[in-house]
């Protein structure tokens, strides 16, 4: 991200409660949204009616201008904080009125092609005649560009600058059409005042953090997030045990898939959980609180010590309390009930999945966690380092309570997507993390006799130890 | 609705996945007096009734075991009878994540194929979402339809026998509870067809006219992508991007640590034994060509305590178990944990072409 960071708009609880049901389809007041800039920069903004959103050098616009359009719509900034919808963020010339039916849409495409040809009327077949003389090739000076910029912050000016730059570029005609297109795209990213407003889904939130602070999401890629959600079988009505050290990105992804049905117990290693990412979620605080229960590791590991001995005061006692005392009593009562409730939920166990995105040492942690996961439910563990999952997998293989644990890696490779000129992009992100998936099972204590080499020998012995059974039971599937 | 909700105890009539080995997962419907016969023992359905999902079950004749698992779309993907090339989890999970398929999403899928992705979609869109799936091959359609019925998935999934490339997606009699604003109104489209570009022009009438629609076309050949991209452009789709997903499964293994000091020590040991003629006598004891387990080998004199990790290793200094069969992780050796990629990698499944369509502002 290159543009200037603008202070983030924060949600006051007063405003967030105004959202009764958030829309994932229509740009709606008070919601948060992701803004995609031509520079490929990302911003999260809250859409306060009558508010003004500044996109730094790309200009500013009034929130009311974009409300009611579908999410995914691109806009172009005009003068006086106005915008107009535009077909896409990078389309070359746009006369504003997008076609009303597909015929006109096709005309638009044709028109765009014509514009391209006009601009690139002279291109070279190859790059043989290109001589690198640096910035001297551009006759338009920086001062002149600044002058133009001052004349107004609209895309029209941006367009004019680009046209003048092309006209002032002595070597432009010596470029091939491909390189001319790339040049144009670069200049558009710099001078066009366009943006796209996207629904802030889990993928968008993750993408935002990847750009802003990859460590916060532990290097996780979108494809790894997808694997986590799918292997953990996340759906409405589930009861999940979650360790989320991303500040709530995982919780948000789960809540999006659960649509308010089911429950999540979040185990955390501080006194208070960090769920900062949920401030962008637009879920009312009450529904977050009713769906997500939090418990710290001390309470999780030593539930009996940490349960609060609490007796509700009688009606008479309440009557006698002074207002200040009463407030204190209510706070304590609420806390005690909340803590005891979540401890009870954990002690009851039988969770529908373990979803772990954590830097904690898994083998020691799993000793405490595995008994709470229900039979035949998925155990899904993310880590940015394969080696740490390897250690976990070895632990699980000898433990026997998780069946067929495997480490999965998923990497998405993007292509330059132009007909006739498809090829993978030259670089891609090299990280993205790994996902371990297994199924919680209930091993038989005794009387299990594996088939395999050594069976006859072992029949002569008294009781086979469980350790030996699995190792030589079945042929390796390779 | 077993693919939509977990239960704890196995009952008659349940669909259960008998996990025999990683490569062999057998879906069975629990039926009284039936038996599951495998290479790894025999299992009575009667005995399964009342057991907990996830429990390990011993074979009826005292050997072998299986695990009884609850159905999930992912287990189904691993077990299902392949009628076509299937969409694997690394692809399907990414597609759903990227196109924001969540509870309530309305999805159009063509073709159904082996119905692997169908199960995954149906789970994720859940009771409030809808899945419209189309299959043009009649036997496959019948198979899939029967499966969806058996799996109680028809509450949110509607399968249609149709060649969408020629006949489009519009349906005449959409059940009331599948309609939205009187039609299909898809939010997300997944096309796994030989020629998606012929189906794309038919989409306009069945997609949402008020909100952004996402599409993913799944094609193995780059030539197909080329045509698909052109068709998408012509139909006004934007943000067109093709990607491919490389999925890998890693196995956890152990590799022996072989210290050069021990190598040198062993060579010295051999040398000294040779000098004494002991080496020859040891060879006479071992039958030629046949390897023995290291615990079957005479441990001889136990040696000093400091060399404890090399006890049981027969006569002479044999730190790496040469000449005997050593299994990964056996006691008496030093191991380090390593990963190894699965033997056969799915190096190419298909190209995924994504795009979006925004309704025209009115």
* Chain segment B5-25, per-residue pLDDT in tens: 999 999 999 999 999 998 899
Which of B54, B95, B339 has its CB closest to that of A440?
B54
CA distance B149 to B15: 12
Which residues in chain B are closer than 8 Å to A256, comparing Cβ atoms? 100, 102
A471 neighbourhood in chain B, CB within 8 Å? 327, 329
Radius of gyration of chain B (CA): 29
Backbone angles phi and psi of B68, in degrees to 5: -100, 115
Whether A186 and A222 share a structural domain: no
Contact B65 A69 (CB under 8 A): no
CB < 8 Å to A70, chain B: 210-212, 358-359
Q: Which of A407, A439, A447 is the closest to B69 by Cβ?
A: A439
3-class DSSP string for chain B? CCCCCCCCECCCCCEEEEEEECCEEEEEECCCCCEEEECCEEEEHHHHCCCECCEEEECCCCCCEEEEECCCHHHHHHHCCCCCCCCCHHHHHHHHHHCCCCCCCEEEEECCCCCHHHHHHHHHHCCCCEEEEEECCHHHHHHHHHHHHHCCCCCCEEEEECCHHHHCCCCCCCCHHHCECCECCECEEEECCCCHHHHHHHHHHCECCCCCEEEEEEECCHHHHHHHHHHHHHCCCEEEEEEEEEEEEEEEEEEECCCHHHHHHHHHHHHHHHHHCHHHHHHHHCCCCCCEEHHHCCCCCCCCHHHHHHCCCCCCCCCCCCCEECCCCCCCCCEEEEEEECCCCCCCCCEEEEEEECCCCC
Q: Choosing among B54, B222, B228, which should be mutated to test the A contact, i.e. which has the most A CBs within 10 A?
A: B54
B108-161 residue pLDDT tens: 999 999 999 999 999 999 999 999 999 999 999 999 999 999 999 999 999 999
Number of Cβ pairs < 8 A linking chain A and chain B: 270
Residue A187 and residue A259 in one domain: no
Q: Are residues A213 and A260 in the same domain?
A: yes
The reply, when asked if residue B192 is annotated as ligand binding, is yes
Q: Please provide residue A274's backbone torsions phi and psi, each rounded to the nearest 5 degrees.
A: -100, 105
The answer to whether A105 contacts B53, with C-beta atoms less than 8 Å apart, is: no
In a domain, A144, yes or no: yes
A162 and A223 together in one domain: no
Q: Which are the contacts of A145, defined by CB distance < 8 A and separation ≥ 6?
A: A161, A165
Q: Is residue A17 part of a domain?
A: no
The two structure tokens encoding residue A73 = 């719509």
A128 DSSP 8-state letter: T
What are the residues whose beta carbons fall under 8 Å from the beta carbon of B264, sequence distance 6 or more? Answer: none
Inspect the interface and report whether the beta carbons of B55 and A444 lie closer than 8 Å: yes
- Is residue A2, in this structure, part of any structural domain at all? no
Out of A203, A235, A413, closest to residue B246 by CB: A413
CA-CA distance, A393 to A339, in Å (whole number)? 32
CA distance B53 to A105: 55
Strand ranges, E, within A181-317: 194-199, 239-244, 263-268, 292-296
Taking the C-alpha atoms of residue B93 and residue A39, their distance in angstroms, rounded to an integer, is 29
Q: How far is B238 from chain A (nearest CA, A)?
A: 7
| Residue A54 lies inside a defined structural domain of this protein | no
- Provide the sign of the torsion angle of the four alpha carbons A319, A325, A327, A328, taken in this order: negative
Residues whose CB falls within 8 Å of the CB of residue B50, separated by 6 or more in sequence, listed in order: B9, B10
A159 Cβ contact partners less than 8 Å away, ≥ 6 residues apart = A93, A191, A192
Beta strands at A292-296 and A263-268: parallel, antiparallel or unpaired? parallel
Q: Which pLDDT score, from 0 to 100, does residue A371 have?
A: 97
Structural domains in chain A (count): 2
Contact B355, B215 (CB under 8 A): yes
Q: For chain A, which residues score pLDDT lower than 50?
A: 1-19, 92-110, 113, 453-478
Interface test with A, best of B96, B119, B343, B361 (most A CBs within 10 A): B361
Q: pLDDT by residue (tens digit) across B229-261?
A: 999 999 999 999 999 999 999 999 999 999 999
**What pLDDT is recorded for position B293?**
55
Q: Which residue of B has its CA nearest to A97?
A: B361
Separation of alpha carbons A332 and A315, rounded Å: 16
Counted residue by residue, chain A has a size of 478
Query: Which chain A residues have a beta carbon less than 8 Å from that of B93?
Result: 223, 226-227, 229-231, 410
B149 a known binding residue? no
What is the CATH topology of the domain spanning B15-71?
Vcp-like ATPase; Chain A, domain 2 (3.10.330)
Query: What CATH number corresponds to the domain at position A394?
Result: 3.40.50.150
Beta bridge partners of B106: B130
How close A122 comes to chain B (CA, Å)?
Answer: 25
Contact criterion met (CB < 8 Å) for A235 and B8: no
Domain ranges for chain B, please list them: 15-71, 77-248+347-357, 251-282+289-341
Q: Which residues of B touch A33 (CB under 8 A)?
A: none
How far does B275 lie from chain A, in Å, by closest CA? 38
Could you tell me which chain A residue has the CA closest to the CA of B344? Answer: A478
Cβ neighbours of B204 in A, within 8 Å: 102
Q: Determine contact, residues A241/A390, Cβ cutoff 8 Å.
A: no
**pLDDT at residue B84 tops 90:** no
Interface contact B250-A397, CB threshold 8 A: no
User: How far is Cα A193 from Cα A330, in angstroms, rounded to an integer?
Assistant: 53
Q: Are residues A254 and A167 in the same domain?
A: no
Asked whether the beta carbons of residue A394 and residue B353 sit closer than 8 angstroms, the reply is no
> Structure tokens of B57?
């079950």
Q: Do A410 and A374 meet the contact criterion of CB atoms below 8 Å apart?
A: no
Residues of B in contact with A406 (CB under 8 A): 249-251
| Cα B167 to Cα A291, B30, B224, distances in angstroms | 45, 40, 20
For the stretch B303-336, pLDDT in tens is: 444 444 444 445 688 899 888 899 999 999 999 9
Cα–Cα distance between B92 and B113 in angstroms, integer?
14
What pLDDT score was predicted for residue A329? 92
**Beta-strand relationship, A52-54 and A60-62:** antiparallel
| Sign of CA pseudo-dihedral A393, A397, A401, A407 | positive
Mutant choice from A85, A109, A257 vs B, greatest count of B C-beta within 10 A: A257
B250–A434 C-beta distance less than 8 A:
yes
Closest CA to A240 of A392, A379, A384: A379
* Angle ∠(B135,B136,B137) on CA atoms, nearest 5: 100
Rounded distance between C-alpha atoms, residue A299 and residue A310, angstroms: 16
Contacts of B126 in chain A (CB under 8 A): 235-236, 259
Residue that is last in its domain, among A164, A192, A220? A192
Contact indicator for A191, A161 with CB cutoff of 8 Å: yes
Closest CA to A46 of A68, A16, A1, A3: A16
Spell B215-254 as b/e; 16+ CB within 10 A means b: bbbbbeeeebbbbbbebbeebbbbbbbbbbbbbbbbbbbb
CATH architecture of B77-248+347-357: 3-Layer(aba) Sandwich (3.40)
A contacts of B54 (beta carbons < 8 Å)? 374-377, 439-442
C-beta atoms of A73 and B244 within 8 A: no
Q: How far is B176 from chain A (nearest CA, A)?
A: 23
- Same domain, yes or no, for A187 and A269? no
Mutation pick from B21, B207, B358 vs chain A, by most beta carbons of A within 10 Å, is B358
At B287 the pLDDT is: 52
Residue A434 structural domain? 202-440
CA pair distance A87, A360, nearest whole angstrom: 47
How far is CA B219 from each of CA A205, B194, B225, B241, rounded to the nearest angstrom?
29, 7, 7, 13
Among chain A residues, the shortest Cα distance to B71 is held by A376
Of A102, A393, A406, the CB nearest to B236: A102
**Cα B6 to Cα B258: distance, rounded to the nearest angstrom:** 48
Whether A57 is covered by a domain: the verdict is no
CA nearest neighbour of A32 among A8, A59, A68: A8
User: Cβ contacts (< 8 Å) between B120 and chain A: which residues?
Assistant: 230
Closest CA to A201 of B98, B210, B106: B98
**A347 falls within a domain:** yes
Closest to A433 (Cα-Cα) out of A202, A210, A255: A210
Report residue A247: phi and psi, to 5°.
80, 15
Q: Which residues pair with A268 in a beta bridge?
A: A296
Cα separations in angstroms, B268 against A443, B264, B272, B318: 48, 6, 6, 11
């Amino acid at each position: 991200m290159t543009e200037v960071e603008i202070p983030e708009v924060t949600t006051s609880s007063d405003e967030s409660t105004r959202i009764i049901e958030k829309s994932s389809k229509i740009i709606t007041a008070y919601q948060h949204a992701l803004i995609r800039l031509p520079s490929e920069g990302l911003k999260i903004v809250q859409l306060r009616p009558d508010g003004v959103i500044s996109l730094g050098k790309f200009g500013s616009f009034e929130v009311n201008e974009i409300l009611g359009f579908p999410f995914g719509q691109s806009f172009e900034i005009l003068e006086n904080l106005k915008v107009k919808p535009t077909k896409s963020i990078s389309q070359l010339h746009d006369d504003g009125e997008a076609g009303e039916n597909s015929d006109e849409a096709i005309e638009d495409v044709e028109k765009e092609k014509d514009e391209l040809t006009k601009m690139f009327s002279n291109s070279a077949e190859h790059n043989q005649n290109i001589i690198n003389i640096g910035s001297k090739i551009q006759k338009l000076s920086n001062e002149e560009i600044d002058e133009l910029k001052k004349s107004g912050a609209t895309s029209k000016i941006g367009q004019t600058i680009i046209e003048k730059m092309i006209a002032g570029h002595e070597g432009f005609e010596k470029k091939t059409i491909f390189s001319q297109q790339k040049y144009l795209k670069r200049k558009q990213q710099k001078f066009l005042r366009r943006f796209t407003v996207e629904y802030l889904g889990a993928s968008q939130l993750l993408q935002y953090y990847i750009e802003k602070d990859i460590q916060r999401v532990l290097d996780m890629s979108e494809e790894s997030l997808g694997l986590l959600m799918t292997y953990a079988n996340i759906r409405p009505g589930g009861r999940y045990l979650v360790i989320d050290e991303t500040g709530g990105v995982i919780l948000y992804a789960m809540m999006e898939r659960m649509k308010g049905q089911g429950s999540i117990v979040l185990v955390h290693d501080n006194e208070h959980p960090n769920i900062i990412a949920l401030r962008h979620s637009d879920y009312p605080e009450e529904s977050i609180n009713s769906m997500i229960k939090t418990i710290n590791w001390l309470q999780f590991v030593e539930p009996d010590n940490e349960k609060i001995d609490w007796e509700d005061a009688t009606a008479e006692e309440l009557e006698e309390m002074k207002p200040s005392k009463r407030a204190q009593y209510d706070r304590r009562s609420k806390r005690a009930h909340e803590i005891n409730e979540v401890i009870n939920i954990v002690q009851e166990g039988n969770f529908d999945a373990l979803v772990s995105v954590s830097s904690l040492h898994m083998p020691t942690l799993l000793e405490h966690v595995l008994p709470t996961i229900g039979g035949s439910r998925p155990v899904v563990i993310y880590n940015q380092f394969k080696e740490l999952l390897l250690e976990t997998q070895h632990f699980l293989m000898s433990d026997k309570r998780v069946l067929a644990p495997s480490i999965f890696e998923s990497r998405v490779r993007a292509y330059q997507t132009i007909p006739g000129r498809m090829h993978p992009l030259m670089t891609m992100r090299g990280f993205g993390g790994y996902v371990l998936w297994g199924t919680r099972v209930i091993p038989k204590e005794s009387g299990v006799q594996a088939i395999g080499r050594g069976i006859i020998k072992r029949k002569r012995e008294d009781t086979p130890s469980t350790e030996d059974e699995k190792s030589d039971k079945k042929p390796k599937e390779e | 609705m077993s693919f939509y909700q977990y239960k704890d105890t196995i009952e008659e009539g349940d669909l259960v996945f008998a996990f025999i080995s990683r490569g062999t997962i057998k879906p069975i419907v629990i039926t009284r007096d039936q038996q599951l016969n495998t290479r790894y023992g025999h299992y009575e359905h009667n005995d399964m009734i009342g057991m907990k999902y996830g429990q390990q079950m011993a074979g009826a004749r005292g050997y072998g075991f299986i695990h009884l698992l609850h159905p999930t779309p992912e287990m189904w993907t691993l077990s299902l009878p392949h009628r076509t090339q299937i969409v694997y989890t690394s692809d399907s999970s990414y597609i759903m994540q990227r196109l924001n398929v969540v509870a309530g999403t309305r999805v159009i899928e063509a073709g159904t194929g082996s119905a692997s992705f169908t199960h995954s979609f149906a789970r994720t869109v859940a009771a409030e979402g809808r899945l419209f799936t189309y299959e043009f091959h009649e036997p496959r359609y019948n198979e899939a339809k029967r499966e969806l019925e058996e799996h109680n998935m028809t509450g949110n999934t509607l399968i249609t026998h149709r060649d969408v490339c020629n006949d489009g997606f519009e349906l005449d009699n959409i059940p009331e509870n599948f309609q939205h604003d009187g039609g299909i109104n898809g939010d997300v489209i997944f096309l796994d067809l030989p020629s998606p570009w012929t189906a794309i022009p038919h989409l306009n009438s069945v997609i949402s006219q008020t909100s952004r629609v996402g599409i993913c076309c799944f094609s193995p050949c780059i030539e197909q992508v080329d045509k698909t991209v052109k068709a998408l452009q012509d139909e006004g789709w934007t943000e067109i991007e093709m990607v491919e997903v490389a999925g890998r499964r890693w196995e956890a293994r152990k590799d022996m640590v072989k210290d050069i000091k021990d190598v040198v020590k062993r060579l010295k040991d051999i040398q000294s034994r040779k000098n004494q003629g002991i080496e020859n006598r040891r060879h006479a004891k071992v039958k030629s060509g046949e390897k023995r387990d290291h615990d079957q080998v005479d441990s001889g004199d136990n040696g000093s305590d400091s060399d404890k990790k090399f006890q049981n290793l027969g006569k002479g200094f044999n730190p790496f178990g040469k000449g005997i069969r050593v299994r990964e992780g056996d006691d008496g050796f030093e191991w380090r944990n390593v990963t190894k990629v699965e033997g056969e990698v799915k190096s190419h499944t298909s190209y995924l072409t994504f795009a979006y369509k925004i309704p025209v502002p009115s």
